[in-house]
Amino acid sequence: MNEILDVFRGPVLSLIFVIIALAGIIVTAAFAALIAQMGLLLRIRTREPQPQPSRTRSITYRMPAGAPVVRSPKHSVR
């Protein structure tokens, strides 16, 4: 066991630390890119114009049943 630890001392140990640090940087950069893409995707979705429902019926106003009818000289109003 001592022989294995002796091998990992010196330049080899620093090389292992550098490899682990590079792997951590790559993983962090990948997650940052994923989060940035999701943010852009959500921003694009909110900018799309929402489809407006087409009006096929005209708006009519109806008086409730039993309401008094008021007559006008030109036309009747209900």
* Domain-embedded: residue 43: yes
Q: Which residues contact 63 (CB under 8 A, 6 or more apart)?
A: 78
- How many Å is the Cα radius of gyration of the chain? 37
54 within some domain: no
Asked whether residue 26 is domain-assigned, the answer is yes
Model confidence at 6, pLDDT cuts 50, 70, 90, reads confident
Does residue 5 belong to any structural domain of this protein?
Answer: no
Assess if residue 55 is contained within a domain.
no
Residue 11 within a domain: no
pLDDT tens sequence across 23-54: 999 999 999 999 999 999 888 877 666 666 66
Provide the domain count of the chain.
1
Task: Assess if residue 38 is contained within a domain.
Answer: yes
Task: Report the predicted TM-score, pTM, of the whole model to 2 decimal places.
Answer: 0.47
